[in-house]
Amino acid sequence: MKKKVLVRGPVLSQTGYGVQARFALRSLRHYEDSRFDIYIIPVGWGRSNWISDDTEERRWIDERIRETGIYASQGGQFDISLQITIPQEWEQMAPINIGYTAGVETTRVSPLWLEKCNMMDRIIAISNHTKWGFENSSYTGTNPNTNMPVELKLETPIDVVSYPTRTYEPADLSIDFEYDFNYLVVAQWGPRKNLENTIRWFIEENYDQEVGLVIKTFSMKNCIMDKNYTTGRLANILNEYRDGDRKCKIYLLHGDMTNEEMTGLYRHPKIKALISLTHGEGFGLPIFEAAYNELPIITTDWGGQVDFLYAPDKGRKKKAMFSKVKYNIAPIQKEVIWENVLIEGSQWCYPDGGSFKMRLREVRNNYRKYKSMAKKLYKHVCVEFAPEKQYELFANSICGPDFIEMESWLSELENSEQVFE
């Protein structure tokens, strides 16, 4: 019997959680004829824009939202709720409740998150790093009724299901590059992405070099005010290097781009490598997109990106298929503390500037080596993260063999009770 699944999440948001929500919908829809009836409650995420494309998928989402409103107004019930957001937003909405999250990019989660997790029947994490953050967290206290010590830790089963690769025709981009060798950064301008250090260290290393850095970014959302604000932030950094004859070039691409445009960016013949000096990633979607577009990558091996940046080499055990930047683990900055999300005392990754500069030189001077790595990683990712494979993993986490076995057992129990009566 098909299950009625209520999906609550930012299904129309142009954010990482929006991408996550739409992947969840595609996974369920892949089995719509046999396993799931899908209902949707859309929610926002942050200050992001909503997708406005007139596509078959968007029309289907709109129709499911409309049908959900009708079904709920008639008192319709759901078998499973799938809630796609951070855990403090989770609640019990159906007999079976599942949380799907990118977690937090630090070393531990808050007590509130653990309490919310333990209300759920299952959690799906976007990466092993996300899973580790939950499993690495525990708190001790005293039961006020018994005065006995108690421990708060994760009790709910947690699966890991990552994004699948996707294929788009690359759009032609009219970027007037001065040089043939350019690096790319794709990141929101904020503390976690470490963009200001990335720009400064790039200029310091390449001040007199004929090389460029493309920054695809935004601060809050895709609008003129945000573009002016972001342009001003970049200008403040570049003004620090006004003296002398700086050769390296900085290019700003602000706001949203289509999937086809992003593919055109990753595959542009003059863009040679992706840079990510993030403090932490739940998954690292731009890094993943670079990997399945055969673009060499410079980053650390701390965070969700570790799941896909290693690949077998000549039949041997997995090897790093990227240029690895050294880092330290230290407490998060005070200014980024966010109640119940980025909590005081948690830690994340601080990439080393000297190591990054060395990797920039190394990739440029030994480009054939790193392009060969990128090709190997591309082949590995396209197999291990193929859509069909990820859809099946996700669908089984929602209603897999263990749920089916439990239902069968309950059904047999009910039948035996009826016979006994």
CATH number for 361? 3.40.50.2000
Instruction: Tell me: do 240 and 128 sit in the same domain.
Output: no
Instruction: Give the per-residue pLDDT at 403.
Output: 54
Q: Are residues 111 and 225 both part of a single domain?
A: no
Answer yes or no: do 281 and 247 share one domain.
yes
- The whole-angstrom separation of Cα 252 and Cα 240 is 17
Asked whether residue 13 is domain-assigned, the answer is yes
Q: Are residues 84 and 207 in the same domain?
A: no
User: At 36, which helix (H) or strand (E)?
Assistant: strand 36-42
pLDDT at 68: 98
Domain total of the chain: 2
Assigned domain for 324 exists: yes
* Structural domain for 99, as ranges: 3-164
> Does residue 411 lie within any of the structural domains?
no
Taking the CB of residue 217, how many other CB atoms lie within 10 A of it?
A: 21
Q: Let me know whether 237 and 107 are in one domain.
A: no
Is 113 among the domain residues? Answer: yes
Is 375 a domain residue?
yes
**Tokens matching residue 176:** 């007037």
**Mean pLDDT, contiguous 10-residue spans, the chain (421 residues):** 96 92 97 95 82 89 97 96 97 97 96 97 97 96 85 96 96 94 97 97 97 95 91 96 90 93 97 98 97 98 97 86 98 95 96 98 98 97 97 93 50 49 41
Give the model's pLDDT for residue 302: 97
The 10 Å Cβ neighbour count of residue 396 is 18
Determine the pLDDT at residue 409: 43
- How do residues 80-130 score in pLDDT, each as one tens digit? 999 999 999 999 999 999 999 999 999 999 999 999 999 999 999 999 999
At residue 406, the pLDDT reads 47
Q: Looking at the structure, do residues 102 and 194 belong to the same domain, yes or no?
A: no
Q: Specify the pLDDT at position 412.
A: 53
Residue 67 shares a structural domain with residue 138: yes
243 assigned to some structural domain: yes
Question: In angstroms, how far is the first alpha carbon of the chain from the final one?
Answer: 26
Residues 204 and 328 in one domain: yes
Same domain (yes/no): 111, 205: no
Taking the mean position of all CA atoms in its chain, how far away is CA 218?
17
What sign has the CA pseudo-torsion 273, 276, 282, 285? negative
40 and 152 co-located in one domain: yes
| Domain CATH code at residue 130 | 3.40.50
Question: Residue 410: its pLDDT value, please?
Answer: 43
pLDDT at 413: 46
| Any domain includes 87 | yes
Task: Give φ, ψ of 208 to 5 degrees.
Answer: -110, 20
d(CA 278, CA 194): 5
Same domain, 254 and 129: no
